[in-house]
Chains A and B, each alone.
Chain A
Amino acid sequence: MLRFAPVLTVILMVGPVLAGLSGTLLPAFGYLPALGGGEWSLAAWRELAAQPGLVISLRLSAVTGLLATLISFVVVMLFCAAWQGTRVFSAIQRVLSPILSIPHAAAAFGLAFLIAPAGWIVRLFAPLAGWDQPPDIVTLQDGGGLALVAGLVIKEIPFLFLMTLGALQQANAGQSQQVALSLGYGRVAGWLKTVLPRIYPQIRLPLFAVLAYSASVVDVAMILGPTTPAPLAVRILHWLSDPDLSMRFMASAASLLQLALVGGQIMLWMAGEKIAGSCGRRWAEGGGRYRRDGVVRLTVAVVSILAAGLILAGIAALAVWSIAGFWRYPDLLPGQFTLKLWLREVAAFAGSLGNSVLIGGAAIMIGIVLVIACLEREGRQLAQPGRGAMWLIYLPLLMPQISFMFGLQVFFGYLGLERTFISVVMAHLVFVLPYMFLSLADPFRSLDERYRHTSLCLGAHPNRVFWQVILPLLTRPVLTALAVGFAVSIGQYLPTLLIGAGRFATITTDAVALAAGNDRRMIGIYGLLQALLPFAGFGLAMLVPAICFRKRRGMRDGL
C-alpha cells in the first residue's frame, strides 16, 4: 500500500492542474462547442490584444509580482543575517505562525483599513494636520500598485521566513556564523558570505511560489490593487464572468498569457540568480569584513517589526470595525460600540463555519495520510526524492489559480463529480497537499535515523516502528502540518466557489460576497472570523502536545 503513496499524491496534486489547464487551453484556441466554438482559431488572441490597457495590466502584474518577491526576499535574508541566534530572532519566531495563518484577504482588508485616506493612520495625524476632510491622495489602489506590493510583502515575509528557518536548521548555520564572526566579519556580511549560498537552493522553490502567487493573485489585488486598469488576473476573472459569453475564449487566452507571464518571471529571476551569483562570489572572495553594520541591522529589524505590526494592527482595525457604531471621520474610535451586527450574523455564519471546518478537516485528513505515507516510504527506502519531484510538489503553487480553475470545473462536470463534497475537497487538496508536505518534510527527514534502526534491530516490524516510535516523536510537526493545511484550506476562495458551484458556503466565500456590500462592519466580522479559524488550528497544534507531553520533559520543546 505504501508503495502507491507517492504516485497517488502526485496524481491528486498534479492531475487536477493538468486537467484544468487543458480545459483552458482548448477554448483559448477557439474550441468550446457549447458556445459555438468548434474550429481552431486565433480570434481570441486578436481580441485579447485589442483590449485597452492590456500592456499596462501585464506590466502591473509583472512589476508588482517581482517587486513584492524581491522586497520580501531581501528583508528576510537581511533579517536572518542580522539577527540569527539572538533573542530578537527567537521572539519573532514565536509570533510567526499566528501571522502566517491569517488568510491573505483578511490581512489585505486590515491593511486597507489602516492606510486608506480615511484610515487609522490618517486619523492619527488628522487633528494635528487639520485635515477635516480625508486628504485627496491615492493611498489604496494606487496606479503603480504600491499598496498591493505592501499587502503582498507583509504576508510573504512570514512565509519566506518560515521556509528559511527550515533551511537554516539543516545547514548548521549557527556554526558557520560563529566561524565568520571569529574571523572578524560583521554579522550581516559574515552570514551573507557563508550561510546564504548554502541555504539559497532550498528556498529557491518557495521563492518561485511567492513570485507566481504575487503576480497572479486575485483577492488581494481586488482589495489593494489599482482598477484603471486592474492587474491581469483580476481582469481575467471579470472576463470569465462577463454576461457576454463569447468573452470566454478571450479569457482563456488571457489565462494562458498569465501563465506565460509567471513563466517569464521565473526565467527572469533565474537570470538574476546567475548575475547575482557571479557578483556575489567576487564579493565574498574580496574578503571585506564590513564590521560596522549597526545601521543595516537596526533598519531591517524596524522593517520586519513594521511588517508584523501592520498585520496585527490591521486585525485590530477589523476587530474595532466589527463592533463600531457610527464612526465619524476623523475620530480615532467610533462614537459608540454595538454587538448588534455580531448577534444578527451568528445565525448566518454558523452554517458556513461548519462547512469551512468540514471541508478543511477532510482535506487535511486525506492530506496528512498521503504526506506521512510518502515520507515514511522515503524513510524506509533511504532514498530522497530528486529535484524533479520537488518541482512536481510545487507545481500547484507555481500555476496561477485562475489559469486552471475554470477548466477544472468543466472537467469535474465530465466526471459527474461537480458540486459534490468530494470535488471541493479534491480542489482544496491540490493546494493543501504541497503546503503540508513542505511543512512536514523537514522535521520528518531530520529525525534521527538511529531511532528507526535501533527499533528495527530490536526486532520490531517496520509498521510497529512507525506507529510506536516515529509517529509519537513527530506529534508536534504533524499537528503543525495539519494546522498549516487547515489554514490554507480556509483561505481558498476560487476553488470553493467554482468547483462547489456555490453550494458550499464557507466563511471565505461569505466574506467575499459580503465585501461586495462594502459595509466595513461586516468586513470586520468576517475578516476576523477568517483569521480566527486558522488561529484556532495553530492553537490546538500547540496545546495538544503540551498536554500530552506534560510528563515528558524531553518532548516538551519539540525536537
Chain B
Amino acid sequence: MAKTFTRLMVATLLGAGVSLASLVARADPAPDMNNWDAVVKQANGQTVYWYAWGGEPRINDYIAWAGGQVQERYGVTVKQVKLADTANAVSKVVSEKAAGKTDGGAVDMIWINGENFAAMKRNDLLFGPWVEQTPNFKYVDVTGKPTTVNDFTVPTDGLEAPWGMAQLSFFYDTARVKTPPQSAKELLAWLQNHPGRFTYPQPPDYMGSSFLKQVLSELVADPAVLQKPADQADAQKVLAPLWTYLAKLQPVLWREGKAYPANGAALRAMMADNEIDIGFSFSAAEVSAAIANFELPDTVRSFVFKGGTLGNTNFVAIPFNASAKAGAVVLADFLMSPQAQLRKQNPEIWGSFTVLDMDKIPAADRKAFDALDLGVATLSPAEMGNVLPEPHPSWMELVESEWQKRYGVAQ
C-alpha cells in the first residue's frame, strides 16, 4: 500500500514537471577524532545544517559570517535553520529516532541550552565525545570558567562545545529610576513602591525560568543543595522561600501577574514603551546593541545584583544521527578559535563574552581582546561581579511545573 502510494505521488510530481527532487542524504561515517587531519579532510564539501534560535538578526549575521569563514578555510558550507524555539530541533531528532533513522539525520548541529542538553544526553541522542580532541579546545578556560565543562551541573563529557559565556544582567532607564535595587529582596521592596513596573517572561520561557532560578539561588538557605538533583533533597523545603517571595511579588507585577511577556526580548519593547522600568537579559551587550538598533532609549544602562547573578555557558552539540558530523566538528572548532571568539565579544557584532582563557591564547589575540570597546551600556567582565552557578536541571523542571500550577492558570 505504502509503495503504491509513493509511486503514485512520485508519478504525479514528475508528471507535473517538477524536477527539483533533492538528493537523499548519504550516510556519514563518524569522524576519527584522534586524527584531526582526517576530520578536516572528511569535512571538505559537507553541508552543515545548524539549528539555532533565529530571533536576533545580529546573531544570525554572526552565524552567517562564521559560515563564510569555514567555507573559505575548510570547504564546509553552513546553513542556519532559524528556529523560534530550540526545542524544535530536539523534537526533530526525536522524531527521526522514532522513524528509525539512525543515519543521515536532518540536524547537524544545535545551539543548545542546559535543559535540552541534559535531556538529549540522558536519551543518547548526541554524537561524541569529540570536543576535547579539537585543536582550539586547549584555549578554553575550563578552570576559571567551570561552566564550560559543566552545563547546569551536568558534566558535558565532551558532547558539546562551549562557544560563549552568558550572565544574567538587569537594565533600567536612568531617566526613570535613580538607584536600581541590588538584590531580589530589594527588587521586591522597590516594586511595592512602584507597582506594575517590572515583570518576567512566562515560564517555561528560558528567561522567565532563569529569573525564578536567580531568586531561588539568592534565597535558598544552603546553595549547595541546588547543585545536586532535586530528588536528593527535601524539595518542598528548599523551594519554600521562593514561593513565599513570589506570593508577595505577583500582586505588584505588571498586570498583577495576569499576563506575561512571551520572552526576554519582549522586555526590551516594554521598556521602550514605558511599560516597565527594569528589565533583564542574558547578554550584557544586548542593551548597547538595542540602543544602536533604536530599540531602547539611550538612557538605559545595565546593572547586576551585589550578591551576584546566574551565569552559564552557551554550547553547540551534534546529534547522534547527524549527516555531516565532521563538518559540524570543524565548525564548532572554528567557533572556539580566538578569531571567532574575538568577533563574538565585539559589541558591534554581538557582544557575547568569550569562553577562552586570556592567559592561554597567543599574545596578539590577547591584545586584540584588550582593545575591544564594549559600548556605553555594557558592563565589563570585571563589573559583572559574582557568578552564581546554575542549579541542576531537575530544579528548573520542578520550579517550572510548580509555577505552572500556582500562577500559570491565573484566571
Contact = CB atoms under 8 A, between A and B. Distances in A.
B297 A228 contact: no
B88 interface: yes
Interface in A32-46: 32-35
B294 A118 contact: no
B92 A502 contact: yes
Nearest to B100: A34
Given A409-B95, A413-B101, A520-B269, A15 B5 contact: yes
Most chain A CB atoms below 10 A, which of B13, B196, B405: B13
Given A228-B260, A243-B115, A118 B297 contact: no
Interface stretch (A285-293, A303-311, A511-519): A511-519
Interface string B82-112: 1111011111101111111100001100000
Given A245-B94, A420-B22, A514 B57 contact: yes
A413 B100 CA distance: 9
Contacts of B405: 52
A132 B410 CA distance: 28
Interface residues of A, number: 85
A238 B87 CA distance: 9
A94 B114 CA distance: 54
A341 to B, nearest CB: 8
A485 interface: no
B20 interface: yes
Contacts, number: 236
B106 A345 contact: no
Contact of A226 (B90, B95, B259): B259
Contacts of B51: 502
B273 interface: yes
A134 B81 contact: no
A12 B9 contact: yes
B18 A422 contact: yes
A8 B54 contact: no
A426 interface: yes
Contact of B54 (A242, A501, A514): A514
A134 B17 CA distance: 56
A33 B88 contact: no
B380 interface: no
A502 B16 contact: no
A241 B409 contact: no
B86 to A, nearest CB: 9
Contact of A502 (B5, B22, B57, B81): B81
A325 B294 contact: yes
B265 A516 contact: yes
A358 interface: yes
A43 to B, nearest CB: 17
A243 B119 contact: yes
Interface in B360-375: none
Contacts of B57: 341, 344-345, 348, 514, 517, 519, 522
Nearest to A367: B16
Interface string A204-228: 0000000000000000001000111
Contacts of A420: 21-22, 24
Interface of A: 8, 11-12, 15, 32-35, 52-53, 56, 117-118, 132-134, 136, 138, 141-143, 222, 226-229, 238, 240-245, 248, 324-329, 336, 338, 341, 344-345, 348, 358, 362, 365-366, 369-370, 406, 409-410, 413-422, 425-426, 497, 501-503, 505, 509-510, 512-522
Given A365-B18, A502-B49, 5 more contacts: A228-B408, A348-B60, A516-B55, A519-B265, A522-B57
28 contacts: A11-B5, A12-B12, A32-B98, A35-B94, A52-B404, A53-B404, A53-B409, A133-B275, A241-B87, A243-B118, A325-B294, A328-B272, A341-B57, A344-B61, A348-B61, A348-B64, A358-B20, A366-B13, A415-B2, A418-B99, A426-B9, A426-B13, A502-B106, A513-B53, A515-B84, A517-B54, A519-B57, A519-B265
